[in-house]
Structure 1
Amino acid sequence: MIQVIILGFDGALASAITGVLDLFSMAGVSWNRIQKQQVQRLFNVNIATANGHSIQCINGLKIEAHLVFKEIKAADLIVIPTIAAPIDTVLAQNAELIEFLLQAYHQNWLIAGNCTGNFFLAEAGLLDDKQATTHWGFKDIFQQRYPKVQLKADQLITQDGHIYCAGGGLAWFDLGLHLIDRFYGFETAIHTAKSFVLDYRRDNQLSYSLMRISKPHQDALIKEIQNWLEQHYAEQFTLDDLAQQFNVTVRTLIRRFKAVLDIPPNHYLQAIRIEAAQKKLEETELPIDLVMQQVGYQDPSSFRRLFRKKTGLTPLDYRRRFSRRF
Structure 2
Amino acid sequence: MIIKRSELMRVGVLALEDCTPLTMIGPMEILRKAGQFCQSMNGLQKPFFDVQIVSSGPKMINTANGYPIFCHANIHDVDKLDLIIIPGLDGDVEKQLQINYSFVPWIKDMYNKGSQVASICTGAFLLAETGLMNGKNTTTHWIAVDLFRQRYPDVDLLPEKIIVDNGNIYSCGGATSYQNLMIYLVEKFCGIEVAHYTAKMLLIDINKNSQSFYSIFSTQKSHTDELILKIQNFIEQNYEVDLSLDLLSEYFAISKRTLIRRFKKATSNTPHEYIQRVRVEAAKKKLETSNLTVSQIINKVGYEDPLAFRKIFKKFTGSSPLDYRNKFSFT
Shared fold (TM-score, shorter chain, > 0.5): yes
Give distance in 1, aligned partners of 2:208 and 2:126: 24
CA shift, 1:171, in A, is 1.2
Question: TM-score when scaled to structure 1?
Answer: 0.59
Q: Name the residue aligned to 2:33.
A: 26
One-letter amino acid of the counterpart of residue 26, structure 1: K
Q: Which residue of 1 aligns with 2:226?
A: none
Q: Does 1:190 align with 2:196?
A: yes
Following superposition, the deviation at residue 131 of structure 1 comes to 0.5
Partner of 1:87 in structure 2? Answer: 93
Instruction: Find out whether 1:203 has 2:209 as its counterpart.
Output: yes
1:113 aligned counterpart, secondary structure: strand
Q: What does the per-residue CA deviation read over 1:267-293, in whole Å, with 9 as the maximum and x for residues that have no partner?
A: xxxxxxxxxxxxxxxxxxxxxxxxxxx
Q: Matched residue of 1:119: which SS?
A: helix
TM-score by length of 2: 0.58
Conservation of the 8 A alpha-carbon contact between 2:32 and 2:49:
yes
Q: Aligned partners of 1:30 and 1:186: how far apart in 2?
A: 12
Query: Once the 2 structures are TM-superposed, how far is the Cα of residue 44 of structure 1 from its aligned partner?
Result: 0.7
Count of residues in Structure 1 that have an aligned counterpart in Structure 2: 203
One-letter amino acid of the counterpart of residue 200, structure 1: I
For 1:11, give the aligned amino acid: D
Partner of 2:61: 55
**Would the aligned equivalents of 2:27 and 2:179 in 1 still touch at CA under 8 Å?**
yes
Q: Are 1:42 and 2:52 matched, yes or no?
A: no
* 5+ long unaligned stretches in structure 2: 1-7, 212-331
In 2: Cα distance, 1:38 partner to 1:122 partner? 36
Assess if the C-alpha contact under 8 Å between 2:120 and 2:173 holds in 1: yes
Q: CA deviation at 1:184?
A: 0.6
Q: From 6, 10, 18, give the equivalent of 2:17.
A: 10
Name the residue aligned to 2:237: none
Question: Aligned Cα RMSD in Å?
Answer: 2.2
1:31 to partner: Cα distance: 9.0
Q: What corresponds to 1:116 in structure 2?
A: 122
CA distance in 1 between partners of 2:149 and 2:57 (Å): 31
Q: Is the 8 A contact 1:154 1:204 kept in 2?
A: no
Name structure 1 gaps, 5 residues minimum. Answer: 206-326
CA shift digits 1:200-245 (9 cap, x unpaired): 141359xxxxxxxxxxxxxxxxxxxxxxxxxxxxxxxxxxxxxxxx
Cα distance, 1:43–1:28 mapped onto 2, change above 3 Å: closer
User: For 2:11, what is the secondary structure of its paired residue?
Assistant: strand
2:300 aligned residue = none
- 1:260-271, aligned counterparts within 5 Å? none
Identity of matched residues, %:
30
SS of residue matched to 1:108: coil
Distance in 1 between residues matched to 2:144 and 2:102, nearest whole Å? 24
Superposed structure 1 runs of 4+ greater than 2 Å apart? 28-33, 37-40
Counterpart secondary structure, 1:13: coil
Shift of 1:106: 1.0
> Do 2:120 and 2:178's aligned partners in 1 also have CA atoms closer than 8 Å?
yes
1:32–1:163: structure 2 CA closer, same or farther, 3 Å change rule? closer
Question: Does the CA contact (< 8 Å) of 1:52 and 1:67 recur in 2?
Answer: no
Query: Cα distance 1:31–1:124, how it changes in 2: closer, same or farther (>3 A)?
Result: closer
C-alpha separation between the residues in 2 aligned to 1:100 and 1:73? 10
Secondary structure, counterpart of 1:147 in structure 2: coil
The aligned amino acid for 2:168 is H
Q: What amino acid is the match of 1:149?
A: V
CA contact (8 A) 1:132 1:152 kept: yes
Q: Using the alignment, how far apart are the partners of 1:165 and 1:97 within structure 2?
A: 17
Q: Find the partner of 1:158 among 164, 171, 176.
A: 164
The structure that has the greater radius of gyration is: 1
Q: In the alignment, which residue of structure 2 is the partner of 1:142?
A: 148
1:145-187 deviation line (CA, Å, top 9, x unaligned): 1111011110001111411011111111111111111111111
